[in-house]
Amino acid sequence: MPNKIRLYIKTGLLKILNIDLSYFLLEKLSHILISRYLFTPHLYYIHFNYMEKCEL
């Protein structure tokens, strides 16, 4: 296999791995932010009351 093709395959795999890693880190970061800032007691109370009203 010529060196150019090998280099192209290696850079392509690195780009795919880099994209997967960035999506993984983004998912982890969003999970941390959501769990820390959105699930506060006040917002949970609002959500619970909203769901109670929907059931009526």
Percent of the chain's residues with pLDDT above 90: 0
pLDDT at position 28 is 81
pLDDT above 70 for 1? no
Using CA atoms, how far apart are residues 30 and 19, in angstroms rounded to an integer? 16
**pLDDT digit string, tens, across residues 4-31:** 656 656 666 666 667 777 778 888 887 7
Per-residue pLDDT, averaged over 21-44, amounts to: 73
Percent of the chain's residues with pLDDT above 70: 41
pLDDT at position 16 is 66
Q: How many domains does the chain have?
A: 1
In which domain, by residue range, is 39 found?
A: 3-55
